[in-house]
Amino acid sequence: MRYLVGNWKSYNTISQTHLWLNEFAKYKIFPERNLTTIICAPFTNLSEANRLIDELNLPLELGAQDVSSHLEGKHTGEVTARMLGELVRYCLVGHSERRRAFNEGSSEVAEKTKMLLEYFITPIVCLDTPYLDEQIKELLNRQLPLNRCIFAYEPVTAIGTGKPINP
């Protein structure tokens, strides 16, 4: 299986999501066999995006952009894997922006991966060479079923530079 994952980052309001998905529907795109197309949208848009993807019968899957490393409880503002379980089948973890801006380390990424797997959400674990070995070690130490994860090589040197890495 191959995956095409689009991360909307902190863009697109609910209204913009509505416009984007309706416009996408006009093109009647049918992806290749063995290609799953995933949109990782902001939390605020997930419910409406789900509704529209179903209503318009779009060949898209929905993913979240992050998940809490905590179980439900007294964690104001956090979105847990259990909450996401009714909304998405996929979720990004370990994105370089989260690592940089929120000081997320490989241990926290592994914990988030564990939470997602417990709620049958496929983690999309973002990796790059500076922390690749450390991240894999953390995942292996938790004895997680890595065959249920998607690993996305995300070289920091290519993000936002306009200079894509040679595939």
Alpha-carbon distance 109 to 125, whole Å? 8
Structure tokens at 142: 């938790």
Q: How many CB atoms lie within 10 A of CB 167?
A: 4
Structure tokens at 2: 């191959």
CB contact at 8 A, 150 and 125: yes
CB contact at 8 A, 103 and 94: no
Active-site residue numbers?
A: 95, 154
> β-strands 2-7, 35-40: how paired?
parallel
Structure tokens at 70: 């905590």
Helices (H) and strands (E) in the chain, counts: 6, 6
Q: 17 — alpha (psi -120 to 50), left (phi > 0) or beta?
A: alpha
